């Protein structure tokens, strides 16, 4: 039938056109899934390094020289930005891509290095629609195309393995699984 | 295929031509410091202002907000990205920035908390208000006991690092 020819054509062309988008949204979707589940931060890598403790001093005695000593001990002299007191008991030394936090009461010192996670950061940037403006419409177009791809995909194969046979079973499973989760976690 | 390529070329051209002017008219911008906002933010509500300060914190879950402070105050000012800014990069922490944007008030009731998935810092320049504006009272419901406060933040239209 002619409609099947059109169905294949639409499925094929949209499939090629939005391959890149599908990868971006699928990979970042997995990443964001685990972000929401608090497994990791897909955009940033944060590493805490143990460094030797410093001698405890009261806030009033924290000088630039004191900060410089810490920077020298941690090898972060070249990355220094400035320092700040979040409260009377600690000082935060800001670095390029990180910071050093010092507990002034105990002298406990932590070096935190932060960097963007490559590839995932870019994908999440797009998935979160951070570019806004025209990207919004392109992403909408992709979303709409995914619906069309899903519908046209149902009618790609005829016969026993198509929508009137095995395909119907798989289709039902794919619809039932999210419904079961909604039943358990939302509607119960 | 030729049709598809033509459509793609036109779309690319449209994207390339989308050079929206992101510069705010400097004549309308009022330069303020965070200490001034701490005491009299209400006077500048909905106005475009420019504030400088050190970036205390950038929210790690999306970079949609950051907090500024200065040596002259213990308060911090919440800055949110506006429509023209994709995000604040975490590398801004510890840098001095100059932010331009609209000062926006948010009425918060005592029983209400903000949940937008980025609530890992709380301070923000806030101005506690016993009885805020008439509109705010309407927002929390007529006849209810006045248990609201107003917090202010900047919706940034532009920002730049300064020395």
Enumerate domains of chain B plus CATH numbers.
Answer: 21-162 (2.40.50.140)
Residue B70 with chain A: CB contacts under 8 Å: none
Residue B15 touches partner A, C-beta closer than 8 Å: yes
Residue B91 with chain A: CB contacts under 8 Å: 96-97, 114
At B122 the pLDDT is 35
Domain spans of chain A? 2-42+118-156, 44-116, 158-188
DSSP string, chain B: -HHHHHHHHHHHHHHHH--------GGG-EEE-HHHHHHHGGGGTT-EEEEEEEEEEE-TTTS-EEEEE-TT-S--EEEEE-TT-----GGGTT-EEEEEEEEEEEEEETT----SS--S-----EE--SS--HHHHHHH-TTS---EEEEEEEEEEEEEEE-
CB B148 within 8 A of CB B109: yes
Contact at CB, B87 and A125, closer than 8 angstroms: yes
What's the length of chain A? 188
Gap from B33 CA to chain A (nearest CA, Å)? 18
What residues 45-104 of chain B have any CB closer than 8 A to a CB of chain A? 54, 56, 60-63, 69, 83-84, 86-87, 89-91, 93-96
Residue A132 with chain B: CB contacts under 8 Å: 83-84, 86
What's the start-to-end Cα distance of chain A, in Å?
46
More confident residue, A90 or B146: A90
More confident residue, B114 or B153: B153
More confident residue, A74 or B130: A74
At B141 the pLDDT is 41
Residue B22 touches partner A, C-beta closer than 8 Å: no
Q: What percentage of chain A exceeds 70 in pLDDT?
A: 99
- pTM of the entire predicted model: 0.76
Tokens of A53: 């403790």
Contact at CB, A44 and B90, closer than 8 angstroms: yes
Task: Determine whether B102 is exposed, middle or buried from the number of CB atoms within 10 Å of its CB (0-12, 13-18, 19+).
Answer: middle
Q: Which residue from B minimizes the CA distance to A41?
A: B61
Residue A134 with chain B: CB contacts under 8 Å: 14-15, 18
At A123 the pLDDT is 94
Mean pLDDT to the nearest integer, A52-77? 92
Of A13, A97, A134, nearest to B91 by CB-CB distance is: A97
Average pLDDT along chain B: 75
Of A44, A94, A134, nearest to B60 by CB-CB distance is: A44
More confident residue, B32 or B144: B32
**b/e per residue B75-101 (b: at least 16 CB within 10 A):** bbbbbbbbebbbbbebbbbbbbbebbb
Q: Are strands B77-81 and B30-32 parallel, antiparallel or unpaired?
A: unpaired
The residue of B71, B93, B97 whose CB has the most chain A CBs within 10 angstroms, and thus the best one to mutate to test that interface, is B93
Asked whether residue B30 carries a pLDDT value surpassing 50, the answer given is: yes
Quote ipTM for the complex: 0.81
Largest Cα separation within chain B, whole Å, is 67
Size of interface A-B (CB pairs under 8 A): 49
At B12 the pLDDT is 59
Distance CA A111, CA A131 (A): 32
At B26 the pLDDT is 53
Residue B95 with chain A: CB contacts under 8 Å: 81, 94
* CA distances, A154 to each of A8, A22, A166 (Å): 10, 18, 11
């Amino acid at each position: 039938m002619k409609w099947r020819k059109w169905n294949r054509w639409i499925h094929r062309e949209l499939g090629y056109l939005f391959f890149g988008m599908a990868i971006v949204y699928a990979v970042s979707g997995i990443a964001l899934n685990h972000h929401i589940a608090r497994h990791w931060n897909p955009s940033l890598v944060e590493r805490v390094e143990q460094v030797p403790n410093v001698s405890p001093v009261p806030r009033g005695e924290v000088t630039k020289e004191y900060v410089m000593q810490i920077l020298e001990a941690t090898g972060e002299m070249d990355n220094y930005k400035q320092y700040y007191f979040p409260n009377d008991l600690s000082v935060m030394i800001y670095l390029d891509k990180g910071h050093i936090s010092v507990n002034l009461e105990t002298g406990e010192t932590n070096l935190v290095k932060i960097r963007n996670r490559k590839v995932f950061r870019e994908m999440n940037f797009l998935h979160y629609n951070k570019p806004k403006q025209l990207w919004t419409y392109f992403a909408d177009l992709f979303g709409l195309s995914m619906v069309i791809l899903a519908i046209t995909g149902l009618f790609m194969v005829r016969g026993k393995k198509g929508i009137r046979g095995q395909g119907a079973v798989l289709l039902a499973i794919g619809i039932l699984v999210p419904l079961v989760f909604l039943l358990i976690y939302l509607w119960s | 295929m030729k049709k598809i390529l033509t459509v793609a070329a036109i779309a690319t051209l449209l994207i390339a031509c989308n050079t929206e002017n992101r510069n705010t008219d400097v004549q309308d911008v009022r330069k303020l410091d965070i200490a001034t906002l701490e005491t009299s933010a209400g006077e500048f509500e909905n106005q475009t202002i420019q504030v400088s300060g050190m970036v205390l914190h950038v929210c790690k879950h999306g970079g949609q907000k950051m907090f500024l402070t200065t040596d002259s105050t213990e308060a911090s000012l919440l800055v949110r990205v506006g429509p023209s800014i994709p995000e604040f990069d975490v590398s801004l922490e510890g840098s001095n920035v100059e932010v331009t944007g609209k000062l926006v008030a948010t009425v918060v009731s005592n029983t209400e908390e903000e949940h937008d998935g980025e609530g890992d810092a709380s301070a923000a320049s806030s101005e506690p208000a016993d009885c805020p504006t008439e509109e705010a009272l309407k927002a929390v419901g007529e006849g209810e006991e006045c248990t609201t406060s107003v917090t202010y933040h900047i919706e940034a239209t532009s920002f730049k690092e300064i020395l």
